Structure 1
Amino acid sequence: MAGTVRMQTSNGRLVRHAMNDEERRPLTPTPTNLPASEIGKLIQTSPPDIAYIQYDISLEPKYLPQMRALIAKDLSEPYSIYVYRYFLYQWPELCFFAIDTSTPDRDLVAVVICKLEKHRCGPLRGYIAMLATQEGYRGKGLARTLVSKGIDLMIAKDADEIALETEETNVAAMKLYESLGFLRSKKLHRYYLNGNSAYRLLLYLKPGVASIPMDEYVDPYELPPSAQDDPMLVQGLEDREELFSRGIV
């Protein structure tokens, strides 16, 4: 998969684009005049015993319950199993999770769930729906790695931009996303059921995408017409608003 780089355009917006093999090269040489202990700090490595897995529907019996339990601890609103299936059945390749291989059952310790589809008025928009890391594994780069995997795959699929919402009080999430190039697009007052407000963040992947006129906001959890009659998604739901209650990422 091609690497990515952030660029600043003439209007000051940050964009990311994929690099081919010829373009991919270090921006600066490794400083050879530093001691080995200092050079090691410049290299990001995965924690020992952590493995990253791309979701497949065959993994649902083992890992979907763990995803739900982990995400439920972090988010401001509950999610029905049908919300998970909405994402995982249609975009399974855009879900990545981390497991601890040192545990007897190879426990799931972090997860990101995304989608990618045409947004109203044209742009191919990625959406980061859920991101959670088990408390004892935070600060080790797992969330950054998972989000980066999702971004890179969406870039490979020719996404124009990526959007998400996060609670305004979630400082760690804001720092993570902004360090990856996301920009605050809009504040959403009292966005969550708990009364908290959110920021919508956007990552522009191609020059000029930010200037494309947008229609009114479209709920990212709205079922596409092709899925509205899928019994696996809407079975037993008398009120679709219950299914699509929004949560933080």
Structure 2
Amino acid sequence: MSSSSFFPLPSPLSSYSLPRPSPKIYYRSFSSELDLAHIESLVSPSLSEPYSRSTYRYFVLRTPKACVLGFTYDPSKDPTGGAAPDEAGCMTCVCVCVCKVDPEDEAFGSTLPPPSPAPAPAPAQPAVPSVSKLSLRPPPPPAAEPAQGYVGMLSVSPSHQGLSVASTALRLALRSLRRDYGCRSAVLEVEAVNGAAVRVYEREGFVREGRLRRYYLNGSDAFRLRLVFDEERAGEVERKIEAGTLGC
């Protein structure tokens, strides 16, 4: 699991995922163990309790597409002076949003419509159709297992705070939870005293489910927030992605 080739590591600039909501920031999903150093360097200074390397792996190796990293590109860092551009070496990670997928809370799931059935595979056509086979109705496909996303870490370099970088990474991660992993909602905990972070999440539609007393090792309380995915909000995000205004 520690191999740096567990996921393909993109190196050309063109490999960094589009859209680029900001022309100065390039976003992509987690791609290899080499990304763990980026995540740790940004997340660790803001933690109220320390994480081990295995904690980061637990998140990113389960749901790599929903772990989003944002990079700046500085060609002056190219050690070759432009003779043989090392584009990966010119990238500096300035933002990370790390998520995972859990089974859906039963109490919350009971308030939503049942999940859509999984699409049934196309039946194989017999060489010579049989009347008895054609008269049988296939059983209904099993319902998809309800799932919810969990936003575990969201951190931005001090040099890029206040530029909507966190909001953009969060929106891309939430989009992946909904589209790639079939989540119907996303939850998170945030320190109650961290008003700036609470405002970021509430602007994206998260609502407070409760207050967790002395939730963190430092004794701080936490708010538990939830965002329910809906078609209108998802369509708005997709339109912003197409227009290149996701961070606005």
Q: TM-score, normalised by structure 1?
A: 0.60
User: Could you say which residue in structure 2 is the equivalent of 1:117?
Assistant: 102
User: How far apart in 2 are the matches of 1:93 and 1:200?
Assistant: 24
User: How far apart in 1 are the matches of 2:50 and 2:149?
Assistant: 22
Aligned-pair distance for 1:167?
A: 0.4
Does 1:84 find its partner at 2:68? Answer: no
Letter in 2 for 1:199: F
CA-to-partner distance for each residue in 1:95-115, whole Å, 9 max, x for gaps? 000111116231111000001
User: Could you say which residue in structure 1 is the equivalent of 2:154?
Assistant: 131
Aligned-pair distance for 1:198?
A: 0.6
Aligned-pair distance for 1:48?
A: 4.3
Q: Which has the higher contact order (CA 8 A, sep 6+)?
A: 1
User: Could you say which residue in structure 2 is the equivalent of 1:27?
Assistant: none
Does 1:69 find its partner at 2:92? Answer: no
User: How far apart in 1 are the matches of 2:159 and 2:230?
Assistant: 37
CA-to-partner distance for each residue in 1:134-177, whole Å, 9 max, x for gaps? 00100111100010001111221331111000001111111111
Q: TM-score, normalised by structure 2?
A: 0.61
**Richer in strand (by share):** 1
Conserved 8 A contact 1:55-1:95 = yes
Q: 1:90 to 1:130 in 2, by over 3 A?
A: same
Query: Which residue among 127, 140, 143 is the counterpart of 2:163?
Result: 140
Does 1:49 find its partner at 2:24? Answer: yes
User: Could you say which residue in structure 2 is the equivalent of 1:177?
Assistant: 201
Alignment gaps of 5+ in structure 1? 1-44, 208-249
Q: 1:46 to 1:205 in 2, by over 3 A?
A: closer
RMSD: 1.8
Aligned-pair distance for 1:119?
A: 2.5
Aligned-pair distance for 1:49?
A: 2.7
For these two proteins, the number of residue pairs brought into alignment is 160
Map 1:156-235 → 2, pairs under 5 A? 156=179, 157-205=181-229
Conserved 8 A contact 2:66-2:174 = no
Compare 137-146 and 47-56 and name the one that shifted more.
47-56
Deviation beyond 3 Å, 4+ runs, structure 1: 45-48
